[in-house]
Amino acid sequence: MKEWIIAQNDAGQRLDKFLQKAVPALPKSLMYKFLRTKHIKLNGRRAEIGSKLSPGDTVTLYIKDEFFVKDERHLFMQAPPEVNVVFEDENILLIDKPSGLIVHEDDQEQVDTLVNRVQHYLYQKGEYDPEKEASFAPALCNRIDRNTEGIVIVAKNAQSLRLLNECIKNRELHKFYLCLVKGVPKPKEATLKHFMRKDERENKVTVYDKPVPGGKTMITRYRVLKTRGKVSLCEVELLTGRTHQIRAHMAYIGCPLVGDGKYSDNRTERPLGFTSQALCSYKLIFDFKEPCALSYLNGRVFEVRDVPFAAPAVMDKLAKVIR
């Protein structure tokens, strides 16, 4: 038998969703069977799959102990706990992710990921203990490519995770990027609207002037901040969130990102250390439309202050080799 008293981080979700996270070794088919046969109870009574959990509820499972075996090694403990904090309070954590670090595990890397680093960091601070959490773990609310640097949002509790996910879904988060491009975009400020379709096999986007079958609208706003020769530093705001949006859109108008070998030829800039795109998610502004527990963040500008590729000396070096 196993029993949980529902705490704040576990409240507000459906019973079946809670069980899938709290008892990952329990197959869905058996979970539904145990609910029907009263081997799983809520507050001592038969439980419904869609029951919403509230603080203080008791969830009791009368099932074999083998389903409760946990991996005590905690993979996140093997990742470095060092993170570059842009902002932190009791609800959220904004991290400046370095280029080259993946946010979640993939086929090549399972240990050293941003989410594992964050969980190790919070564990060391005493703000996260997986032994005391039935179903919640600090989670990333947005993701950026391995070779893109910049701000990633972390929810430190379940309420913040729900609110931040809604904020992003409702486009109440304004995201700004810095990038170096080859050439000088004309005009120096514009909103681009085109259409894109992704080739899953090649993991590459094609941009079109007109709608295409299976395509999606892509809207990007850019502003040239400064120029050195044929190299420009631009601020870009994403008005849609598509795969490789900035890289593909800027290349489409003839100004590909410095270092981008997928949408341009980067052989010229590689000797200067640009082996991947010069792109940083450097600024966020929250704009929650409805009052909520995170409304205090509204209007505040969170920004990465030091973006190495934006330094004048770097741009001067690039201007000498990019013609």
Would you list the domain boundaries of the chain?
2-68, 75-169, 173-321
Phi, psi of 227 (to 5 degrees): -135, 140
Q: For residue 101, how many other CB atoms are within 10 A of its CB?
A: 19
- What pLDDT is stored for residue 20 in this prediction? 87
Place of tokens 């909103």: 191
Q: Are 96 and 149 in contact (CB under 8 A)?
A: yes
Class at the top of the CATH hierarchy for domain 173-321: alpha beta
CA dist., res. 92 & res. 155, Å (int): 5
Give kind and range of the element (H or E) at residue 152: strand 149-155
How many Å separate Cα 110 from the centre of its chain? 17
Same fold, 75-169 and 173-321: yes
CA of residue 300 relative to chain centroid, distance:
20
Can you give the pTM of this predicted structure? 0.83
pLDDT value of position 65: 79
What local confidence, expressed as pLDDT, does residue 69 receive?
61
Superfamily per CATH, domain 2-68: RNA-binding S4 domain (3.10.290.10)
Q: How far apart are CA 162 and CA 128, in angstroms?
A: 18
The type of residue at 59 is V
Q: Phi-psi region for residue 214, left (φ > 0), alpha (ψ -120 to 50) or beta?
A: left
Give pLDDT, residue 26. 87
Identify the pLDDT of residue 182. 97
> CA torsion angle for 23, 29, 31, 37 (degrees, to 10)?
-160
What residues have CB less than 8 Å from 166, skipping those under 6 apart? 172
Task: Give the domain 75-169 fold.
Answer: Pseudouridine synthase (3.30.2350)
Q: How many residues does the chain have?
A: 323
Q: Are strands 279-286 and 149-155 parallel, antiparallel or unpaired?
A: parallel
The predicted pLDDT at position 39 comes to 94
Residue 139: HSE in the Cβ half-sphere, 13 Å Cα cutoff: 15
Residue 72: predicted pLDDT: 47
pLDDT computed for residue 246 by the predictor:
97
Closest to 133 measured CA to CA, from 70, 81, 65, 78: 70
Which residue ranges in the chain fall short of pLDDT 50?
A: 72
| CA 177, chain centre distance (Å) | 14
Distance CA 322, CA 314 (A): 12
Residue 240 backbone dihedrals phi, psi, to 5 degrees: -135, 165
Q: Is the peptide bond before 80 cis (omega within 30 degrees of 0)?
A: no
Degrees, nearest 5: CA angle 130-134-143: 65
236 burial (CB, 10 Å; 0-12 / 13-18 / 19+) is: buried
Nearest 10 degrees: CA dihedral of 265, 267, 272, 275?
60
